[in-house]
Amino acid sequence: PTENRYLPIDTCMEFGTVTNVAIENLIAQMEAIEQASKQKLDLTPVKTGQIAVVAVSPGMGISKVFASLGVAAIVEGGQTMNPSTADIMAAFEDLPTQDVIILPNNKNIIMAAEAATELSVKNVKVVKSRTVPQGFSAMLRLAPEGEFDQVFENMEKALSDVETGQITTATRDVEIDGVKVKEGHIIALLNGKLVLSTKNLEKGCLGLLKKIDMDDYELITLFYGDTMGPKQVEEIASKISETYPDHEVEIQEGGQPHYQFIFAIE
C-alpha cells in the first residue's frame, strides 16, 4: 500500500544508516509490461525466395488478424491517417526477399502503394484491396512459395469473395446517392457506398445486412472499433444472430478508430 511505502526503510534505519535508496512501483512496471505484450505482433518471418506481404492496418486487433494470416510486415494507417509511400517502402525494403505484395486495404492508400512499386528495386505489386475484409480474403490465397504472378492473380480474384460493411458516425449534414444524412447520425456503407442513415447503432447494423442477399453467405464477422464496449458489442451480435439464425456470427476486436464496426460477410 502506498501509505506504508517508507515502512521498510524506517525499519532498516533502526539498525544503521541507509544509503542509495530506490523505490520502484512494481505494479506500474507490470502494467507496462502487460500493455507492451498486447501491442506485440507475431509476424511471419519471410525467407529468401518467398513472397512477402505488407498490409496496411487501422487497428491493433486487425493487425493481429493479419499477422495470424501470415503477413510479413504491417504499416499503421487507415481513414484520415494515410501512410506515405516512404512508410510503405520502409516496411519491406529490408526484408530478405525480392518478391513483395502490398495490401493497402483502403482506397485512399492505393496510390501511395502503387508509387512504392515504381520506386523500389524489388519486384513489388499491389493487390488493390479497398477494405480490411478484402485484405483478409486476399491473404487466404497467399502461397509464400508459389509463383509470384500466379499468387498475385489469385489474391486479386479473392477480393470479390467478401462483402464489406462499415458503420460510422456522420460528421456533417449531406445527401449522397439519395441518402440524406444528419450530423451525428449512424451511417452504413456497403463496399464503400453509403446505403443508409439512422439514429440508432443497432438499426444501422441490421439495416446494412438487409442490403445484402444473405442467402449467398454463411459467416458474419464483426470487427469492433476502439469506442465500443463489450456489452454493447455482445448485444448487437446477439440481435444479428437472432435475425440470421442460419448464419455463423463471430466477434473480433478490431481496435480501429472512426468506425464502430467493420463487417466481413463471407
pLDDT at 44: 86
Its domain, for residue 175, covers 163-265
Whether 27 is covered by a domain: the verdict is no
Looking up residue 194, the CATH number of its domain turns out to be 3.30.1180.10
Looking at the fold, whether 73 and 148 belong to one and the same domain comes out as yes
Whether 40 is covered by a domain: the verdict is no
CB contact set of 51 (below 8 Å; sequence gap of 6+): 97, 99, 100, 101, 142, 143, 144, 145, 146, 148, 151
Whether 112 is covered by a domain: the verdict is yes
Looking at the fold, whether 63 and 146 belong to one and the same domain comes out as yes
Looking at the fold, whether 173 and 153 belong to one and the same domain comes out as no
Looking at the fold, whether 257 and 179 belong to one and the same domain comes out as yes
Looking at the fold, whether 56 and 137 belong to one and the same domain comes out as yes
Looking at the fold, whether 139 and 168 belong to one and the same domain comes out as no
Whether 128 is covered by a domain: the verdict is yes
CB contact set of 191 (below 8 Å; sequence gap of 6+): 130, 131, 163, 164
- Domain's final residue, options 128, 160, 192: 160
CB 103 within 8 Å of CB 140:
no
pLDDT at 17: 72
Looking at the fold, whether 64 and 150 belong to one and the same domain comes out as yes
- Domain's final residue, options 160, 181, 200: 160
Whether 4 is covered by a domain: the verdict is no
CB contact set of 52 (below 8 Å; sequence gap of 6+): 46, 72, 73, 92, 95, 97, 99, 100, 101, 144
Whether 16 is covered by a domain: the verdict is no
Residue 78 is given by DSSP the state B
> In order along the chain (266 residues), what is the average pLDDT of each group of 10 residues?
62 69 57 47 92 98 97 90 96 97 97 97 98 98 98 98 97 91 96 96 98 96 97 98 98 97 98
**Cell numbers that stand for 227 in this block:** 469506442
* Count of domains forming the chain: 2
- The closest of 76, 192, 62, 72 to 135, measured between CA atoms, is 62
CB 197 within 8 Å of CB 190:
no
Burial 59-93 (b: 16+ CB within 10 A, else e): bbbbbbbbbebbbbbbbebbeeeebebebbbebbb
- Domain's final residue, options 160, 185, 209: 160
Looking at the fold, whether 59 and 152 belong to one and the same domain comes out as yes
pLDDT at 207: 98
Whether 130 is covered by a domain: the verdict is yes
Looking up residue 84, the CATH number of its domain turns out to be 3.40.50.510
CB 66 within 8 Å of CB 109:
no
Whole-model pTM? Answer: 0.84
SS3 (DSSP) at 22: coil
Whether 150 is covered by a domain: the verdict is yes
- The closest of 207, 230, 254 to 61, measured between CA atoms, is 254
